[in-house]
Amino acid sequence: MTGAGCRRVLVIDDDELVAAMLVAHARSAGYEARSTSDPAQFFTIARQWRPCFVVVDLMMTGMDGLSVLQRLARERCRAAVVITSGAAPALLDSARTYAIESGLPYAGALPKPFRRGDVAAVLDSAIAEPRPQESSAEAFARQSYLGFQVALRKALQDDEIEVFLQPKVACEDGTVVGAEALARWNHPALGAVPPSTFVPYAERLGLAPRLTDLVMRRCLTWLSAAAVPTGFTVSINVSASELGDPRLRHRLMAACVAAQVSPSRVVLEVTETSTVDDAVGSLEALTRLGLEGFGLSVDDFGTGYSSVSQLARLPFSELKIDRSFVAGMSRSDRSVTVVRSMVQLADGLGLSSTAEGVETEGQWEALREMGCTHVQGFHLARPMPLEDFTRWVDTWNSGARAGARGDLAGA
């Protein structure tokens, strides 16, 4: 995208009458607008004119809408996508998901037939929303692989990486029962470096064990001194590359012994896709970790390819429902059905269920009615430094018992 002031709209639709109508409606709402029915011309205009919106019809002859979205993603187009079609709502919803998961900024959908006010509403709503900008750290990582590698190694060596905790609460009564540990890097020159930028680099560079050890050590030190309930657990993410390392179990156990903290206070979160790469190795590693007493959680459930088979084979104690499904609950009855099915599946297998990305009271209430065990997300609290967490727990738990969940969500 080209910034909040950009009002250029490019339309591709093989129905010239519909395309002309979209252009007219956009112009009447104060936007510059152009259209074409030719895919080759569309991409040429997009590169040269740099629109802030592209309106893409899904059902076109020749190159269909999904193919257009695929190429836009491949060319790293930053224009916000508006999808239009006369197809069933479920197909529009699937196309929306496809656009978002392809990395395209998504502005909204225009089901056909539409009115002039619908076009203005979608465009104006997207203009009003803050648009994510590439951080200096992300730009540096993209432009200088070697420089970023050096900076990351130095950060791990000099303890520039901090550990934040995001609370996990009981869905039924709001009591804090645990937290997820999240690595945060505040570079002296680059500023805040997103985990989505530096964690994949750590894995590619073979630095994941050092990052895991740092997070584990900080959490155990905090747990050994913090005034939290005995059953309180801290969840730590373990990368796919570490699961096959036989030293992982010994490193984690040594850290627990040194801090005098039981492994039962630690939950290891493993992404669903990481267990697919080496099924036999994952089974052995997770079984050994479970025998030591660690809790085992399948993270981002529903985003991999072998979801149910993984739950049947591997000794997990918790299922974490990916935030994308929780976010979809407000937009799609299908998402509600999927989340309810996940909660029921976890319950049937004797696992606890934790919904990530809870951002509204309505989502929390819906999850509680479904029987979800725990919730986690910005509605409760954003991740916070270790030193702030104990105070927050005291404030929240006293308020939760008084029924003041919503009032304390921003504490």
Q: What is the pLDDT of residue 408?
A: 45
Return the CATH number of 136-408, one of 3.40.190.10, 3.20.20.450, 3.30.565.10, 3.40.50.1000: 3.20.20.450
Write 101-105 long-range contacts (CB < 8 A, 24+).
102/69, 102/70, 102/73, 103/73, 103/76, 104/69, 104/72, 104/73, 104/77, 105/1, 105/78, 105/79, 105/80, 105/81, 105/131, 105/132
> In 194-232, which positions are buried (b, 16+ CB within 10 angstroms) versus exposed (e)?
ebebbbebbeeeebbbbbbbbbbebbbbbbeebebeeeb
Catalytic residue flag (residue 292): no
Structure tokens at 96: 């929306």
Q: What is the DSSP letter of 114?
A: -
Class for domain 8-128, per CATH?
alpha beta
Residues paired with 83 in a beta bridge = 56, 109
Check residues 116 and 1 and name the one with the higher pLDDT: 116
Q: What is the pLDDT of residue 403?
A: 47
Distance, in Å, from the CA atom of 386 to the CA atom of 393, rounded to the nearest integer, reads 11
Q: At residue 305, does pLDDT exceed 60?
A: no
Domain boundaries, the chain: 8-128, 136-408
Torsion of CA 203, 209, 215, 217, to 10 degrees: -170
- In 3-state terms, what secondary structure has residue 183? strand
Q: What is the pLDDT of residue 74?
A: 85
Q: For 375-393, how does the pLDDT look when each residue is reduced to its tens digit (9 = 90+)?
A: 999 999 999 999 899 889 8
| Predicted TM-score (pTM) of this structure | 0.69
Q: What is the pLDDT of residue 142?
A: 52
Q: For 328-386, how does the pLDDT look when each residue is reduced to its tens digit (9 = 90+)?
A: 888 788 889 999 999 999 999 999 999 999 999 999 999 999 999 999 999 999 999 99
The length of the chain is 411
> Residues 356, 359, 361, 369: which is the catalytic one?
356
In angstroms, the first-to-last Cα distance of the chain is 34
> Average pLDDT over the chain, rounded to whole?
85
Planar angle of CA 240, 367, 406, nearest 5 degrees = 105
Q: What is the pLDDT of residue 176?
A: 92
Torsion-angle region of 296 (φ positive above 0: left; ψ -120 to 50: alpha; else: beta) = beta
Distance, in Å, from the CA atom of 398 to the CA atom of 411, rounded to the nearest integer, reads 12
- In 3-state terms, what secondary structure has residue 50? coil
